[in-house]
Amino acid sequence: MKQLKISKFYAVLSVLFSLLFTTCVHDQNSEYSANLIIPEQGTIPNQYIVRFKDGVVNLEKMNPSNLSRQNRPAMAEEKLTIVKSKVIEMVQDLGVKEEAILDIYAELFQGFSVILSHDQLESLLSNPNIKTIEQDMEIRLPELSIEFLSPGLRNQQTPCGITNAGGSAGGSGSSKWIWILDTGIDLDHPDLNVETNGSFAKSFVKGSKSPDDCHGHGTHCAGIVAAIDNSIGVVGVSAGARVVPVRVLGCNGSGTTSAILSGLNHIAANDEPGDVINISLGGYWGSNCATNSSYVSALTNLSNAGTLIAIAAGNSSANASLYTPACINAANLHTIASMTCAKGWSSFSNFGIPPCDWIATGSSVYSTYKGGAYATLSGTSMAAPHVAGIMHQNQSAPNQNGSVTNGGLSYKIAVR
């Protein structure tokens, strides 16, 4: 019996050694293996974002920087067509049908999002042209709690958040646009200067081509940034500035990382240095968010090109470094925590320095809403557009006027 146990022990040891050796050989022969990145929560089964290595498709001669804004959409379509042909060439031998290809990326990075079987995923991971494959993730806004709703027009108010941000200033004369990456914008709201040209105002929500807001969140953010200085409703930080809807979230406030990346690539194809993006959305990622999240290269490239970006820190009363894209740090990118009208800490706000760069009013903010209405909402979603309006006015980062202390950290109050 003792001899049998010893034999079994050596047999098991032999199997373990064999497995270890096999794994090592696999690693040594995996020079073409792409990194597989999986967020800790919210992943979508079998749905992936595939990023090419640099230079797989050479688009250097198609740089639109010397084109007028009006001529850029045609160039963007041409680039998408070129990258798509490469994508189809890459996946056709794997049995991936064209309808499984969800999005094509040609601006901030080259790649695509796609539905894959396990075997197709394994094959792509060994493709020498692939840099990373990230499992797609669902993004969902918190349930909106409308604290006040006014369906009709009221005499113009200046909400405390605007006052706390240094007051309102005229933005209608600026050639720089403010892109609202969100649920869309109410396209005919009487208190907003909305860009409605379909080449720029876009929806990346599957099954819906309209950038009109059927949720309300995006319209609320747009009003904080840039509601018109007139006799009705509210006034924004950069009053009357042109706001552009890039709809990436549906009527229920949900979307995907892959669709949001399509929205960011669309903005990159059509923006100019000095344009502003407001990103009041995000989701839990987990550890290594600031290095592994797919937003990192996209938003860093946008920031380095001179686009000014405001991002909501999140509403989970947690460390913002675990939430994407709030976790990202870049030169022209600012993550925003929330304070009250009286400049106290908002209990729902995510925290941490870094990644939080500034704080602005996010509690009980009155602004424009879908259907020509006005509403009061709370969230870091409302804090971020105050900073977006400030940056549109300043054409640079905010200035500081005071601070809010929480958890032993001092958060700078953003003003014009």
Domains defined for the chain, CATH in brackets: 35-138 (3.30.70.80), 148-415 (3.40.50.200)
Integer Cα distance of 140 and 44 in angstroms: 13
pTM here? 0.91
| Range in 285-294, 335-344, 403-412 with the lowest mean pLDDT | 285-294
**Catalytic residue numbers?**
182, 217, 381
Unique residue bearing structure tokens 């409302």 = 382
**Terminal C-alpha separation, the chain:** 83
pLDDT of 144 = 79
Question: For 58-117, how does the pLDDT look when each residue is reduced to its tens digit (9 = 90+)?
Answer: 887 787 667 899 999 999 999 999 999 999 999 999 999 999 999 999 999 999 999 999
- Local confidence band at 307 (pLDDT 50, 70, 90 cut-offs): very high
| Range in 47-61, 299-313, 371-385 with the lowest mean pLDDT | 47-61
Average pLDDT over residues 10-16: 37
- Local confidence band at 10 (pLDDT 50, 70, 90 cut-offs): very low
pLDDT higher than threshold 70 for residue 16: no
Beta bridge partners of 37: 134
Integer Cα distance of 143 and 302 in angstroms: 30
Unique residue bearing structure tokens 């820190």 = 313
pLDDT higher than threshold 60 for residue 337: yes
Q: What is the mean pLDDT of the chain?
A: 91
pLDDT of 60 = 79
Higher-scoring residue by pLDDT: 326, 13: 326
pLDDT higher than threshold 50 for residue 287: yes
- Local confidence band at 362 (pLDDT 50, 70, 90 cut-offs): very high
Question: For 218-270, how does the pLDDT look when each residue is reduced to its tens digit (9 = 90+)?
Answer: 999 999 999 999 999 999 999 999 999 999 999 999 999 999 999 999 999 99
pLDDT higher than threshold 70 for residue 411: yes
- Local confidence band at 169 (pLDDT 50, 70, 90 cut-offs): very high
pLDDT higher than threshold 60 for residue 13: no
Average pLDDT over residues 327-347: 97
In SS3 terms, the chain reads as: CHHHHHHHHHHHHHHHHHHHHHHHHHHHCCCCCCEEECCCCCEEEEEEEEEECCCCCCCHHHCHHHCCHHHHHHHHHHHHHHHHHHHHHHHHHHCCCHHHEEEEECCCCCEEEEECCHHHHHHHHCCCCEEEEEEEEEEECCCCCCCEEECCCCECECCHHHHHCCCCEECCCCCCCEEEEECCECCCCCCCEECCCCCCCEECECCECCCECCCCHHHHHHHHHHCCCCCECECCCEECCEEEEEECCCCCCEEEHHHHHHHHHHHHHHCCCCCEEEECCCEECCCCHHHHCCHHHHHHHHHHCCCEEEEECCCCCCEHHHEECCCCCECCEEEEEEECCCCCECCCCCECCCCEEEEEECCCEEEEEHHHEEEEECCHHHHHHHHHHHHHHHCCCCEEEEEEEECCEEEEEEEC
Unique residue bearing structure tokens 């979508």 = 44
Higher-scoring residue by pLDDT: 351, 55: 351
Integer Cα distance of 239 and 251 in angstroms: 27
Phi/psi at 234 (5° precision)? -135, 175
For residue 246 the two structure tokens come to 């890039």
pLDDT higher than threshold 70 for residue 46: yes
| Range in 22-36, 75-89, 192-206 with the lowest mean pLDDT | 22-36
pLDDT of 31 = 53
pLDDT of 102 = 97
User: How many Å is the maximal CA-CA distance in the chain?
Assistant: 95
Check: CB of residue 148 under 8 Å from CB of residue 395.
no
Question: For 117-167, how does the pLDDT look when each residue is reduced to its tens digit (9 = 90+)?
Answer: 999 999 999 999 999 999 999 999 988 789 999 987 789 999 999 999 999
* Orientation of helix 257-270 relative to helix 72-91, angle to 10°: 140
pLDDT of 29 = 37
